[in-house]
Structure 1
């Protein structure tokens, strides 16, 4: 859970360090602050089977927890019990991330998709069932300008096997693309071929083999008639991955502060919320011209001129100014 002040709190099962608090305790019943992310303006969080990821407003990606299949994107299979910066995505301009049981998908501002982690069901979309330890661009989606992504899974009855998939949406084409397993939990002898590359729903499915006969070529039913409603699942993951948003400065809000000479308690409360939090302050003054995507140890990503403009503006109301 992320507070308006930007702090991330986690609790629950911590078998693989997926809570990010640096503790080896397997169960943490009460919320604990994830210290390593303190001061970072978070834009979104996502949780998988036993791994977690977050994206900052500046596009920085952090991952932690289980890493048996490389789902943290760090180039190895070692679990992490604290958020770790995914350096391979430094210039990716990440705007959204989704986690499956053991794989991860990342969306860039330009609409590119990269995936990593477990690939056994073809859920990475690279025309193979190999695992990927580092983020890899889904070549089949290059140029498609994807607008939404979601990773999902289902369990096979009786067995402990998982079937995993990825679903993406291209708003300009109004099409859903699917890859992975859509067995809907069938037993092993009833399994259908995995979809190894992204293809539109209601299109022939390429299993990576010759598509000359019915054994290797089939059609995914239309979204409206599918027994398992992919769209419903897609919207569920989208709605449960976004944050409500940390508190940051808005021009209309600042104008309201200035115009109210008395500076009532409600305004003072908002000012304290934002200016008592490093994350909220950083998020308020990020460079809005894509400069924030270059944030690194060398580049702050903060627009200093915007900060100066704010202080000059707020000084028109001395009561609000001193509260800041």
Structure 2
């Protein structure tokens, strides 16, 4: 669970280090702070069968837990009890992640999808049943702009809004791919297998009901999943803080200011570079827009009460 103040807390089963707290204590009943991610503005977290993945607002991906199939994307099969940076995704501009039982899917800002981990049921979509230890782009989806992804236990779904279609691949043992059998490449749900239609095809036939339902679900998640859940400074917040009416609800204003400015993650998330520059964040590049920081302090200096509180 990501707290509004930017901290990540985990609890529960921990046999493979999937809680990310640096130990493999079998069971942890109370929420524990994942200290190694402190200060990083997280956008989303996802949990698999026994592994966990997180992505920051700047697109950095971290993984930990069980790794026997390479589902952490780190190039090996060693478990991790602390979050590890997935260097192979450094320039991927990750905006969304999803985990299956033993595989992981990652969506980029450009609508590209890469997968890694267990591939025995075809859930990676690479036209094979091999496992992948590092992130690999799903080639069959390169001709489409995917807006949402979702992993089941051994299958994966993606939504392509330009075609208004949901594509699936992986295990169909429980009917999770619609009426199709197991698939090793992305195919439209309820589309005849022998039609040979992938996301690069030109099949624009009328969607069946099941695809329409999935499309609605995916569009809902697309509109809500990228929202920043941690507290950050927004222009409208500052305008409210320095307004003449701020004193009327000063306690709530003060509470909001203290929440944001007592957290490194919230501060970092508040002043990220715009226009995709924040996706270049690395050890050499902070990703923080210092001119935006200066503009903020200049603006609140007009209200000394706010300035002192910050």
Q: Report the TM-score, using the length of structure 2 for normalisation.
A: 0.89
Contact conserved, 2:166 with 2:214, CA < 8 A, in 1?
Answer: no
1:257 to 241, 251, 267: 241
Partner of 2:94: 94
Distance 1:241 1:34 in 2: 22
Q: Residues 48, 19 of structure 1: CA spacing in aligned structure 2 closer, same or farther, 3 A cutoff?
A: same
Q: Partner of 1:64: helix, strand, or coil?
A: strand
Q: CA deviation at 1:203?
A: 2.0
Partner of 1:62: 62
Q: Residues 239, 80 of structure 1: CA spacing in aligned structure 2 closer, same or farther, 3 A cutoff?
A: farther
Partner of 2:202: none
Q: Give the ranges of 4+ consecutive aligned residues of structure 1 lying more than 4 Å apart after TM superposition.
A: 229-244
Q: Aligned pairs, how many?
A: 295
Partner of 1:168: 158
Gaps of 5+ in 1: 154-163, 187-191, 209-221
Q: CA deviation at 1:202?
A: 2.6
Distance 2:14 2:224 in 1: 20
Matching of residue 304 in structure 1 with residue 297 in structure 2:
no
Q: Report the TM-score, using the length of structure 1 for normalisation.
A: 0.85
Distance 1:281 1:176 in 2: 38
Q: Partner of 2:136: helix, strand, or coil?
A: strand
Q: Residues 122, 251 of structure 1: CA spacing in aligned structure 2 closer, same or farther, 3 A cutoff?
A: same
Gaps of 5+ in 2: 197-206
Q: Residues 291, 244 of structure 1: CA spacing in aligned structure 2 closer, same or farther, 3 A cutoff?
A: closer
Partner of 1:4: 4
Distance 2:304 2:225 in 1: 40
Q: CA deviation at 1:143?
A: 2.7
Q: CA deviation at 1:236?
A: 9.9
Contact conserved, 1:195 with 1:206, CA < 8 A, in 2?
Answer: no
Contact conserved, 1:123 with 1:181, CA < 8 A, in 2?
Answer: yes
Q: Residues 33, 223 of structure 1: CA spacing in aligned structure 2 closer, same or farther, 3 A cutoff?
A: farther
Partner of 2:201: none
